[in-house]
Amino acid sequence: MAYVAIADRDHEIEHHAPTTFITKYIWSQDHKVIAIQYAVTALFVGLVALILSGMMRLQLGFPNSFSFITPIDYYQFITMHGMIMVIFLLTALFLGGFGNYLIPLMIGSRDMVFPYMNMLSYWVYLVSVIVLLTSFFVPGGPTGAGWTLYPPQAILPGTPGTDWGIVLMLGSLALFIVAFTMGGLNYVTTILQARTRGMTMMRLPLSLWGIFMATILGLLAFPALFVSAVMMTLDKAAGTSFFMPAVMSMGENLSHEGGSPILFQHLFWFFGHPEVYIVALPAFGLVSDLLSTHARKNIFGYRMMVWAILAIGGLSFIVWAHHMYVSGMNPYFGFFFATTTLIIAVPTAIKVYNWVLTLWQGNIRLTVPMLFAIGFIFTFTHGGLTGIFLGNVVVDLPLSDTYFVVAHFHMVMGVSPIMVVFGSIYHWYPKITGKMFNQTLGKVHFWITFLGTYAIYLPMHYLGFLGVPRRYFAMGDTEFMPESAFTLNQSITISALIVGAAQLIFLYNIIVSLKKGKDAGPNPWQATTLEWQTPDTPPKHGNWGPELPVVHRWAYDYSVPGYHDDFIPQNVPADATPATSEHGSDT
Amino acid sequence: MSEAVMTDTGDVLPGGAKGIVADFAADKQAFAVPWGKAMMWFFLLSDTFIFGCFLTSYMTVRMSARDAWPVPSEVFALSFGGEPIPLILIAIMTFILISSSGTMAMAVNMGYRGERNKAFWLMMATAAFGVMFVSMQAFEWTKLIVDDGVRLWSNPMGAAQFGATFFMITGFHGLHVSAGVIFLIVIGRRVKSGFYDRTRGNYEMVEITGLYWHFVDLVWVFIFAFFYLW
């Protein structure tokens, strides 16, 4: 029995806009409000993690100067900084924030398919954040096991926060996974099943392809984290031995016996590596749209970009053990994972070339979003190249657990996605608020952040080659560390504090512009995608007024010869334009 | 069919093998199914990975355990006055759960035929089978805990991981069955009250419930094979 698509039933459905303050702004089921709730919560908790990183840098740059940072604090800061940034900021912001906002608008739908579940998703996410932050205030403080939470140390006395912190961390992760699943099922189903007339999969803006694939990765990868969280909680609370081998702790034999710590590492990285792409793929997608729009050129190789996203998503499930070369697993296993890791560089490189070719001979407008998008190409290429070092077993072994690794992953999945986050917030800010932000402040924010990034992370590569180990509270007097390593550490700290403080410019800009910004108009960037063609700015409940839009072309008709504008929105009928666009009638 | 087709937006779609691709990538929707059904499939895919991770972990832990693993045919034997019969309880439990899939399938059929009452009673029969299954599981747990002294963290018959994995995984599955029973009762009441006649005039929700129920059954087959037959 064929099922009639929503786009063809739109007239039969009654739409009820919420009327009270609470249903409009708090218990809201509107995807746009939920998106903003997600984004604000994620940015807030990200700010906490940023402050933590500042504290760590203070200690590393100027050891023995700050009595309020003890070794225990330091480990707790490391752990919370990593976990918050990866999961509670980036995952939540890209999928809960941008995913929620952009999916229904870009596909021409009125909302997510299950708005009520979408609302629950946010509130469970909020609870998970609160549980996580609660651990700062319990006896013993948050866990200091490192964001990878490796057993046995994660739950043994001696590691900070083994009483309460670790349990709250695991509980918070489990809640986050529940929240993500409720949201993620919505995103996937909405993209597949609720597109408007004419919106084929191959006409989706790349933003949505990135978010779509990332959500699928999340739905398949988070189960491994969920399972390991359950088992570690049992190991901690019920005395089971899933991950715990026979251990002597403080001179006593513990009751654990026969468990497998390596099992945890496999489960964790079966989640952890796709997680890298859960963060990276939405960034890839969003940055493609930013580059194309502000270079006034169609994205180079759209189909290849889509296939690259799918290939990266598939491959990301068979590379996880490259995080475990030094875990003691079989070296032949490492050979397999080194190979797959290098293969994944192929689709990734295709994407980078296509971004650069999109810029080539484009009519580049150096707006604030464009600056961040170009900055992303630099930082991502840089971090990707060091990834090739670390993907090879023999090169990885000496570099393992040094600052080279810290530099690599901060460039590739810290700074690069954050560049896209800033670029995308600036890009869609006029649509979300109806106001334009202050361009000058935005550019100042970009240059400090971009140059500061290199001031922070370039020296870390050198520290890594020297063999300076990561996660150490203080280096003390060691022979292999020259004086320059210590002065570099000071300079890194000063740069980090400046970059951290510069984020206040961003906050100031987006908050003050809410009131004082000029009216942006419906389509300030002259973009083609559907979200810029809404009847109201910001879009009202239901997004489209009485009629759903109809899509007649792909998302990248920029600078089509013979048309009076240098962009043709997706909902402009085919016969209103010159037939020069090869992709206009492409399915 | 290999001719090209024109859509209502004036686009020309290819025929043949390219047409299959075009169908999947067509506008409006990728699958001609209700949202809830598509979403349930995605959820079950995700849940498959949860159970997959649980079972893989169980196998790893069983191999890394230092003490001997208890012999399933002895541990799970039950005596009715005479010789202990191996796996008898679990055979009955499995039979009950598989039967419940049968009644569920009939309920889906009755739902689509619009026979509300029959669909309701078949769903209740399914829920009753589910309750029986969970009750027998509780009986099995009681025997292990009280008679054999197996705990989550220890096991007098050998490897401590036996108790840990067994209680964790069958417990997690039991929670799924219990959730399914609640799901069946909620949807069954709506079927009986004519809720779906009033709202959308179809009974796809019965089928969506059924998808979940069959999935929980299928998972049990794997748990049964890995825990009781290995």
Taking contacts as CB-CB distances below 8 angstroms, the residues of chain A near B114 are none
A480 touching B (Cβ < 8 Å): no
Per-residue tokens: A445:
């924010």
Residue A118: per-residue pLDDT: 95
Between A3-17, A368-382, B127-141, B145-159, the lowest mean confidence (pLDDT) is in: A3-17
pLDDT bin (cut points 50, 70, 90) of residue B56 is very high
A3 touching B (Cβ < 8 Å): yes
Residue A1: per-residue pLDDT: 44
Query: Is residue A576 over pLDDT 80?
Result: no
* Torsion-angle region of B159 (φ positive above 0: left; ψ -120 to 50: alpha; else: beta): beta
Q: What are phi and psi of A141, to 5 degrees?
A: 75, -175
Taking contacts as CB-CB distances below 8 angstroms, the residues of chain B near A587 are 11-14, 22, 25-26
pLDDT bin (cut points 50, 70, 90) of residue B7 is low
Exposure of A476 by Cβ count < 10 A (0-12 exposed, 13-18 middle, 19+ buried)?
exposed
- Please give the average per-residue pLDDT across A220-245, as a whole number: 94
Q: pLDDT tens digits, residue range A530-565?
A: 999 999 989 999 899 888 999 999 999 999 988 888
Query: Is residue A378 over pLDDT 70?
Result: yes
The number of beta carbons lying within 10 Å of the beta carbon of residue A484 is 12
Q: How far is CA A280 from CA A51, A106, A182, B161, in A?
A: 23, 20, 21, 38
- Please give the average per-residue pLDDT across A497-505, as a whole number: 96
Taking contacts as CB-CB distances below 8 angstroms, the residues of chain A near B161 are 240-242, 258-259
Dist. CA B132–CA B93, nearest whole Å: 8
Query: Is residue A2 over pLDDT 70?
Result: no
The number of beta carbons lying within 10 Å of the beta carbon of residue A123 is 15
The number of beta carbons lying within 10 Å of the beta carbon of residue A191 is 26
Taking contacts as CB-CB distances below 8 angstroms, the residues of chain B near A547 are none
Mean pLDDT over each residue of chain A, to the nearest integer: 92
Taking contacts as CB-CB distances below 8 angstroms, the residues of chain A near B61 are 242, 258-260, 263
- Single-letter amino acid code for the residue at B207: E
* Chain B stretch 121-160, residues whose beta carbon is closer than 8 A to a beta carbon of chain A: 152-153, 159-160
**Contact by Cβ (8 Å): A186, A113:** yes
* Chain B stretch 102-121, residues whose beta carbon is closer than 8 A to a beta carbon of chain A: none
Q: Which residue has the higher pLDDT, A576 or A207?
A: A207
A226 touching B (Cβ < 8 Å): yes
B29 touching A (Cβ < 8 Å): yes
Query: Is residue A98 over pLDDT 80?
Result: yes
- Please give the average per-residue pLDDT across B72-92, as a whole number: 85
Interchain pair B49, A202: CB under 8 A = no
pTM, entire model: 0.94
Q: Could you please report the per-residue DSSP string of A8-38?
A: HHGGGS------SHIIIIIS---HHHHHHHH
A198 touching B (Cβ < 8 Å): yes
Mean pLDDT over each residue of chain B, to the nearest integer: 89
pLDDT bin (cut points 50, 70, 90) of residue B200 is low
Between A96-105, A187-196, A400-409, B27-36, the lowest mean confidence (pLDDT) is in: B27-36
Beta strands in A173-294 (DSSP E): 248-249, 252-253
Interchain pair B60, A260: CB under 8 A = yes
Residue B13 forms beta bridges with which residues? Answer: B5
Prediction ipTM score? 0.92
Q: Could you please report the per-residue DSSP string of A291-342?
A: HHHHHTSPPTTHHHHHHHHHHHHHHGGG-GGGG-TTTT--HHHHHHHHHHHH
Query: Is residue A263 over pLDDT 70?
Result: yes
Q: Does domain A22-199 have CATH number 1.20.210.10?
A: yes
Query: Is residue B226 over pLDDT 60?
Result: yes
> Between β-strands B78-79 and B12-13, what pairing exists: parallel, antiparallel or unpaired?
unpaired
B23 touching A (Cβ < 8 Å): no
Q: pLDDT tens digits, residue range B19-36?
A: 776 666 677 888 888 889
Residue A586: per-residue pLDDT: 44
The ranges assigned to domains in chain A are 22-199, 541-587
Q: Which of B45, B53, B176 to mutate to test the interface with A (most CBs of A within 10 A)?
A: B53
Residue B107: per-residue pLDDT: 95
Query: Is residue A273 over pLDDT 60?
Result: yes
Per-residue tokens: A174:
């489990």
**Contact by Cβ (8 Å): A92, A125:** yes
B201 touching A (Cβ < 8 Å): no
Dist. CA A388–CA A202, nearest whole Å: 31
Dist. CA A193–CA A370, nearest whole Å: 32
Query: Is residue B5 over pLDDT 80?
Result: no
Domains and CATH numbers, chain B: 1-30 (no CATH), 33-228 (1.20.120.80)
Dist. CA B59–CA A449, nearest whole Å: 48
In chain B, % of residues over pLDDT 90: 58
Residue A323: per-residue pLDDT: 94
